[in-house]
Structure 1
Amino acid sequence: MVEVTVTPQSSLADRPVQVLVRGLSPSQLVTLRAWLKDEQGECFQARAFFHADDTGEVDPGRHPALGGSYTGVCPMGLFWFLQPDTLFRRLVKRDVAGSPFLVQLEVFDGLHLVTGPQEQPLACCGAERWYVGPGVQRVPLREGRVRGALFLPPGPGPFPGVIDLFGGAGGLIEFRAGLLASRGFAVLALAFFAYQDLPRALTQLDLEYFEEAAELLLQHPKVRGPGLGVVGVSKGAEVALAMATFLPQVVATVWINGTAFLHGNPLVYKDLHIPPIPYRTERIVLTELGALDNSGVFSDPRDPSHSSSAIPTEKIRGKVLFVVGEADRSLNSKLFAQLAMARMAPGSGRLLSYPGAGHLIEPPGSPLCSISSIRGTPRPVMWGGEAQPHAKAQEHSWQEIIQFLELHLGSTATMKL
């Protein structure tokens, strides 16, 4: 009797699992398919072809995939290479605290490039992929001007505090905050536009808003001070670097594929005003796929006329971890990281640079999204990346991010799920 199992059956989305098929004939050719439906009903799937070994088993952690969504030995390949049936969709968990993603694993006899509803698998099973661990509490935050969601690990604490920021899509994205809280951090997923009563569009970066959020987080009885961490990607990385520069509360910053200059929107903070480099929207390229390549909208920051728009990172007194995808199609993030580090005190910045990784470097449970629709743009946007190196970059960088935050904010009590 053919059987497929996933161990553990319920796990955090950033944790590895083992897929194992038993009961096949020796050398039998089979197709393994993984699929899930997101909260909008969109189907994401991956498949890989294997020959069973002499004992009739297929273990993607030991046996190479012969083709399909990936090739070679990749224990998490069926999870890492999920792709949408509809073009330009991005797999994002919205309701992180209420339910997991339910991943279905199926085994078919022979080579199945397309799986119709009439085809019956030899075996199937389900796996739960959670974005919060047991006991993690989500608290909606609406205090003063600050809007977001606070994720608290179970127990009395106090826990090291982290502010989590996303980019130009606006709104509130919580999946990374939930996973960080499951690692023992008290995490504020912070919105800064296009959410509730916040401005619908981003016209300026008001650093006093982010200062208010930092002070609010540090005042929480379950948050351990005196310093906190910030994690930001894209526009959120630009904000994170500014916070590290001007806010003494910020002692550990994770900057993921962002800039080191103000772009499009000025930064204001008390009497300070940093003018932006204008976006060169006339340089947007429409690709053959019908997506926008925005990499040309960023002028060369080394032009002397842009010097007044630089974030003065020489003022940073904490530590910064720069995470770069070298195949980022949104902007030249490696150049921006290098320019920021050149101004910083020796030893205060560290660069992780990944060939083949794209713009959206996320926790390892997130499959590559190289193109997707985004709020505020008329067409899908290119993010870049190649599936296999991007997946490996996410796995490596996530562990480095956790270790970096623990090193500079203090140890955490890691959960088991």
Structure 2
Amino acid sequence: MVQLTATPASALVDEPVHIRATGLYPTQMVTLTASLKDEKGNLFQSRAFYRANEAGEVDLKQAPSLGGDYVGVHPMGLFWSLKPERPFMRLLKRDVMNSPFSVTLALHDLVCLHELDTDQPSASVVVQRWFLRHGTQRVQIREGRVRGALFLPPGEGPFPGIIDLFGGVGGLIEFRASLLAAHGFAVLALAYFAYEDLPELLMEVDLEYFEEAANLLLAHPKVQGPGIGVTSVSKGAEIGLAMACFLKQVVATVCINGPNAIFDFPLRYRDLVILPVPSFLEHVQTDVSGAMNFRNFRGDPQDKLNQQSVLPIEKAQGQILFIIGENDQSMKSREYATQALEQLKNHRRNNGRMLAYPGAGHLIEPPYSPLCYASRNKSTGSLIMLWGGDPAAHAAAQEHAWGEIQKFFRQHLIQTRSQL
């Protein structure tokens, strides 16, 4: 009898699943598929072709996929190769508290090159993928101007504190914060536009808002001082780097594919205003898929006229980790990180380092998340933004970077306290 098992059947989304099929004929060819529907009912699917061994088994820890959405030995390939049925959809978990993603894994007797909707699988199993560990507390934050959600791990604490910032998608995105909380951090998912009573559009970055959020987090009885961390991506990484430069509360900053200068909108902090590097719409290119490539959209921070827009990274007192996807099609993130590190070196500072991942795109997310190569972005209206990335290389980058991010924060947030 054909059996398909997936262990564990219920786990955090960043935990691997061991998939195994038994009861097949020796050397039998089969198709394994994965499918899930997001909270809006959008379908994501993947498939891979496998050959059973002489014992009639397929173990994804050892067996190579011979074709489909990926090739080679990839135990979690069915998860990270999920693709939207409708093009340009990004898989985003909105409600992290009440429901997991349910992924249906199925085994089909043949190599299925046609649509699988009408084909009855020989075996199937449902796997639950959670973004929240049992006992984690979510606290809605509406204090002063600050809007967000604070995730506190189970236990008395105090826990190292982190602010989590996303980019141009706006609103409140919680999945990374809730997942970091599962690993022992107190994390504030911070909204800064297009949420509740915050501005609908981002026209200016007011750094005092983020300073208020940092002070609020540090004042929480379950958050250990004396400093906090920031994890950030894209536009959020620009803000994260600015926080590292100007806010003494920030002692460890992760910038995922962000710039080293102010882009798009001015940044204001007390009496200081930093104007953005100019942008050039005529430099935007269209990919064969119809997505817009913004890599050359912004001017070069190194140009003499743009020097006043470059962030004074040499003022940062804490540690900075740049995480870079070398196939980022949204911005020249490797170039910007290199410039920032050179700036530190010129000021005899050594508090920054870069992890660069060949083949990874712009949206480096927690492990086993499907690559989003291009998607519609609220901040650009109906335009489709090209993010880039090769699926297998991007998946490897996400898995490695996630471990490095946690290691970085443990080293520089917990160590900071022990040195006092």
Give the corresponding residue for 2:175. 175
Q: How many residues align?
A: 411
Please say if residues 44 and 84 of structure 2, whose CA atoms lie closer than 8 Å, have aligned partners that are also in contact. yes
Q: How do 1:62-77 and structure 2 match up within 5 A?
A: 62-77=62-77
- TM-score scaled by length of structure 1: 0.97
1:284-341: per-residue Cα shift (whole Å, max 9, x none)?
2233322111112111221111000000000011000100000000011001101111
Deviation readout 1:376-398 (Å, 9 max, x if unpaired): 32221100010010000000111
1:13 aligns to 2:13 (yes or no): yes
For the 8 Å contact 2:172–2:190, the answer to whether it is kept is yes
- The CA distance in 1 between the partners of 2:271 and 2:125, in whole Å, is 60
Q: Does residue 377 of structure 2 align to residue 356 of structure 1?
A: no
Could you tell me how far apart the structure 1 residues matched to 2:115 and 2:392 are? 24
Aligned residue in 2 for 1:396: 400
Secondary structure of the equivalent of 1:138?
strand
Q: Which amino acid aligns with 2:207?
A: L
Map 1:196-207 → 2, pairs under 5 A: 196-207=196-207
> Which position in structure 1 is the counterpart of 2:386?
382
Instruction: Report the RMSD for the aligned CA atoms in angstroms.
Output: 1.0
CA distance in 2, matches of 1:257, 1:408: 21
Equivalent position of 2:134 in the other structure: 134
SS of the aligned residue for 1:295 comes to: coil
Match of 2:350?
A: 347
| 2:256 pairs with 1:252 | no
In structure 1, runs of 5+ residues without a counterpart are 412-417
CA contact 2:277–2:300 (8 Å) conserved in 1: no
CA distance in 2, matches of 1:229, 1:28: 51
Decide whether the 8 Å contact of 2:76 with 2:368 is kept in 1: no
Asked if residue 308 in structure 1 is aligned to residue 311 in structure 2, the reply is: no
- Paired amino acid for 1:313: I
Aligned AA for 1:325? G
Range that drifts further, 364-373 or 205-214: 364-373
Task: Please show how residues 6-405 of structure 1 align to structure 2 within 5 Å.
Answer: 6-344=6-344, 345-377=348-380, 378-405=382-409
1:415 paired residue number: none
Q: Which residue of structure 1 aligns with residue 418 of structure 2?
A: none
Q: Distance in 2 between the 1:280 and 1:185 partners? A: 40
State the identity %: 55
> What code does the residue aligned with 1:201 have?
L
| 1:36-60 alpha-carbon deviations (Å, 9 max, x no partner) | 0000101101110000011111011
Distance apart, 1:168 and its partner CA: 1.0
CA–CA separation in structure 1 for the residues paired with 2:221 and 2:22: 50
SS at 2:105 equivalent: strand
TM-score normalised by the chain length of structure 2: 0.96
8 Å contact 1:290–1:379 — kept in the other structure?
no
Partners of 2:378 and 2:11 in 1: how far apart? Answer: 31
**1:273 shift after superposition:** 1.2
**1:238 Cα deviation after fit:** 0.3
**Separation (CA, whole Å) in 1 of partners of 2:47 and 2:117:** 16
In the alignment, residue 395 of structure 2 is paired with which amino acid? A
Distance 2:263 2:161 in 1: 28
Q: Is the 8 A contact 1:158 1:223 kept in 2?
A: yes
Take 1:7 and 1:290, find their aligned partners in 2: how far apart are those partners? 39
> Equivalent residue of 2:96, what SS?
coil
Which amino acid in 2 is paired with 1:117? D
